[in-house]
Structure 1
Amino acid sequence: MKSKTINFEQVKELFRSSTFIPFLMIWITHGIGGWGISFVLPTVIYELGISNTAISQVMTMPPFTLVFVILLSLAFLVHTRRLSPWVAGLGLEAAQIVCYVLLITVKHPIAKYIFVMIATAASQSFFAIIWPERIRAAKGTTTAGLAIGLTNASCQLMGIVGPQIYQPKFGPSYRISYSCSIGLLCGTLLSVSSAWFFVSKEDKKDASANSGSDATPEEQTDNQKAVEYTD
């Protein structure tokens, strides 16, 4: 069946793609395990002995300022091809896991605030770094549109499941919550590694196919750069 608005062959291609499940799992596991840390921030600020509402609001600013700094720095390195987005994504996930482990063991309020700040910044920087690779892996208009929709839909689980993991009954230590997040983020690490492998494999396949076809020199150069970028 052919249509000007939707191509069912591209729909089938999306679900057959080796990158579909890894990317879907990235958004599900990171969405639930990574973003839940934002529920802990008010408790950590209260443990610092700050009860004034105005000061408490000010104390929420450093974590999100750090998001801005980390995201701009990584975006610059990725854009100038000094750093692979996959390496950046794995680094952010690893940093979160380390922070969660330390939050389980450390009891000092200031140290907990610092680790929550770093974990929050890393979690909110991750999707923006990996998102271009998700779009690049979706070939075709229908494929890209459906991939975007399914990815965003799966990410909504963070608003459904996330609050359940970080329920007030698990506080103020939130050890159970942190442990659940560590498990989910380990799943994210595996999913990112799998997606990186399959995307790199597809890039090499496309570059090999174009080298023996009538592709323009510009297209061949772009494919070669994509292969070098994902290796």
Structure 2
Amino acid sequence: MSSLFRTKKDAASSSSGTIDGKADDSTARATDPEARQAFLATFSADEEKAVLRKVDRRFLVLIGLMFMVKNTCFSNVSVVKTMQVGEPSNILTELHMSADHYNWAATIQGIPYIIFELPSNLVLKYMTPHAWESRIFLTWGIATTCCGAVKTAGQLLACRFLVGMFEAGMFPGVITTLSYWYRTDEIGRPMLWYFWIANLSTIIGSLICYGASFMDGMRGLSGWRWAFILEGIATILFAGAIWYILPDFPKSPRSRSWLTPREQQFLEARLPPNAPATDDPSWDTKEAWVAFKSPTVWGFLLDQTFMNLASYSLTWYLPTVITNLGFAGLPNNLLLNIPPAAAGIFAMCICTLLTSRALVARPLLCITIVLGTMICFILFFTLNTRGGLYTACVLSQFFSNSYYVPYWSWRTATMSGATGAAFAIGLQSSIAQLGAVVGPQIFQSKWAYNRYRNSFMIGFCFVAAALVSNLWTWWLTRDIERRVVEVRRGALRARNEGKAYTGERDIDVLGDERIRDSKWW
């Protein structure tokens, strides 16, 4: 085993160790917590920042772009519906689909998420993140391009199913990979980049459709076909960038090209005892079973599921709401989707500032956002003025889009081991994709008579359920969250003193000394 902090069995069998197959004379080969702290103490705050900057450069922009491409693919199906509305080249007219029938274009894409998210995440470690994620983008890009060639509604639905099947695993794969590199008290930073760049998907998607609307009729293809083709080609090309740039794990062979052996050791040693490690096996039945039985796993699962049900339904129908307000004609109506997206990005920055400085407990911030989202749904089924409704659109994205930054920072605090983390996140992401399946079906034409007040009331009920589940999850994790705040403030103090945080009072969610000992030393 090439880790500095080995099991007792490893320590008994050898009095010396190696890092990546090479002797490391910079630290002693001890097998107790003090050795880990002593090793971390050899790094100054400036060295720690330099190492983390290397990691940030590899991850932050790339993962944000990955999620942006994913969200653009999903959300643009709803934007495409508003292209050339009332004209022969509109997608509903060409494929002879009703609005209710078209809702299935989003629903059927969500079904394979439920089936394939968990299996995809379980093979991530074996296949390695860079290879698996690039495969995901390549295959779904091909399927998206094919959407531009469909001739019937059935063919469109078949292609959207394939898009969902090939895309499944991308989101939980990134979350799982980040848990190998970042501590839970600092993961808010990559989450900010992940979600705020992803929130540009509404802006980028609207601009793609805006540009494609001027291509209507070019080479005999309608504008909506060009939108799918452009998205698909961009996704295929992006798969190549993921293959070359996305890191695997701190001690993976690929990491040697940009990290020294000492830096590789540091990145893994600074993580809490429960964090997954490069040397963990690709599968551990015990870890998977422990994760499956954990009430905390199911609490977080309910949090995400209920919020997804509300946010997916709102995201799906929001372009239609904005178009129906009548502020602008075609195609300028597409540009009105940009201010709500910008509001969401601004809210994410606020959330990251609050969590990174340990100014607000992450569960409390999540609950505050849930309450704000509830108010927005109330506004949707009570307001009648155009200005009021557009304000509700902006506020809804301010709250609902910012929820996942503190939420995923909170969520990663309780993941344990490579298999446990992959299983928990994969299971959660699979079931939470009910939001992608059910959300678009909430807005049925039969409820159009009262401006979909019934639909917004259903969304409100989902958010109310999310409030209850978030309160329960906070209760389950209250002790861990107190420790996270303590550790984060300790890390900030150490940095101000010019030292790296040594983790002398680290976050330990395992709660079992025997398990902790076997994991680290």
Asked whether the two chains share a fold, i.e. TM above 0.5, the reply is: yes
Counterpart Cα distance in 2 of 1:43 and 1:205: 45
2:326 to 41, 46, 49: 49
Counterpart Cα distance in 2 of 1:43 and 1:4: 48
Distance verdict in 2 for CA 1:65–1:88, change over 3 Å = same
Residue 62 (1) aligns with residue 339 (2): yes
TM-score, length of structure 2 as denominator length: 0.38
Question: In structure 1, what is the equivalent of residue 506 of structure 2?
Answer: 222
2:296 to 10, 14, 19: 19
Structure 2 counterparts to residues 23-102 of structure 1, below 5 A: 23-102=300-379
Task: Give the secondary structure class of the aligned counterpart of 1:222.
Answer: coil
TM-score, length of structure 1 as denominator length: 0.83
Counterpart Cα distance in 1 of 2:483 and 2:290: 16
Task: Give the secondary structure class of the aligned counterpart of 2:326.
Answer: coil
Q: Is the Cα–Cα contact under 8 Å of residues 26 and 192 in structure 1 kept in the other structure?
A: yes
Question: In structure 2, what is the equivalent of residue 130 of structure 1?
Answer: 407
2:440 to 155, 163, 168: 163
Structure with larger RCO (C-alpha < 8 A, sep 6+): 1
Q: Is the Cα–Cα contact under 8 Å of residues 135 and 148 in structure 1 kept in the other structure?
A: no
1:174 to 436, 446, 452: 452
1:184 to 453, 456, 462: 462
Distance apart, 1:142 and its partner CA: 0.9
Q: Is the Cα–Cα contact under 8 Å of residues 33 and 181 in structure 1 kept in the other structure?
A: yes
Distance apart, 1:202 and its partner CA: 5.0
The one-letter code sitting in structure 1 at the alignment partner of 2:463 is: L
Q: Is the Cα–Cα contact under 8 Å of residues 292 and 424 in structure 2 kept in the other structure?
A: no
Q: Is the Cα–Cα contact under 8 Å of residues 376 and 395 in structure 2 kept in the other structure?
A: yes
Distance apart, 1:93 and its partner CA: 0.7
Q: Which moved more, 1:4-13 or 1:195-204?
A: 195-204
Task: Give the secondary structure class of the aligned counterpart of 1:52.
Answer: coil
Distance verdict in 2 for CA 1:124–1:186, change over 3 Å = same
Distance verdict in 2 for CA 1:116–1:9, change over 3 Å = same
Distance apart, 1:128 and its partner CA: 2.5
Task: Give the secondary structure class of the aligned counterpart of 2:380.
Answer: helix
Distance apart, 1:152 and its partner CA: 1.8
Q: Is the Cα–Cα contact under 8 Å of residues 366 and 407 in structure 2 kept in the other structure?
A: yes
Q: Which moved more, 1:21-30 or 1:165-174?
A: 165-174
Counterpart Cα distance in 1 of 2:382 and 2:409: 36
Residue 106 (1) aligns with residue 106 (2): no
The one-letter code sitting in structure 2 at the alignment partner of 1:39 is: W
Question: In structure 2, what is the equivalent of residue 146 of structure 1?
Answer: 423
Counterpart Cα distance in 1 of 2:369 and 2:507: 27
What do residues 3-25 of structure 1 show as CA deviations (whole Å, max 9, x unaligned)? Answer: 93211111121122120111111
Structure 1 ranges of 4+ moved more than 4 A: 202-206
Q: Percent identity of the aligned residues? A: 22
The one-letter code sitting in structure 2 at the alignment partner of 1:198 is: L
Counterpart Cα distance in 1 of 2:386 and 2:457: 19
Q: Is the Cα–Cα contact under 8 Å of residues 370 and 400 in structure 2 kept in the other structure?
A: yes
Task: Give the secondary structure class of the aligned counterpart of 1:67.
Answer: helix
2:475 to 197, 210, 217: 197
Counterpart Cα distance in 1 of 2:377 and 2:414: 31
* Bigger share in helix: 1
Q: Is the Cα–Cα contact under 8 Å of residues 24 and 151 in structure 1 kept in the other structure?
A: yes
Distance apart, 1:219 and its partner CA: 3.5
Counterpart Cα distance in 1 of 2:420 and 2:503: 21
Larger Cα-atom Rg: 2
What do residues 191-221 of structure 1 show as CA deviations (whole Å, max 9, x unaligned)? Answer: 1111111112456799xxxxxxxxxx94343
Distance apart, 1:43 and its partner CA: 3.2
Counterpart Cα distance in 2 of 1:132 and 1:68: 17
Distance verdict in 2 for CA 1:203–1:78, change over 3 Å = closer
Q: How many pairs were matched up?
A: 212
Q: Is the Cα–Cα contact under 8 Å of residues 303 and 469 in structure 2 kept in the other structure?
A: yes
Q: Is the Cα–Cα contact under 8 Å of residues 47 and 109 in structure 1 kept in the other structure?
A: no
Distance verdict in 2 for CA 1:17–1:29, change over 3 Å = same
Distance verdict in 2 for CA 1:203–1:83, change over 3 Å = closer
Distance verdict in 2 for CA 1:203–1:73, change over 3 Å = closer
Distance apart, 1:91 and its partner CA: 1.1
Q: Is the Cα–Cα contact under 8 Å of residues 483 and 507 in structure 2 kept in the other structure?
A: no
Distance apart, 1:143 and its partner CA: 0.8
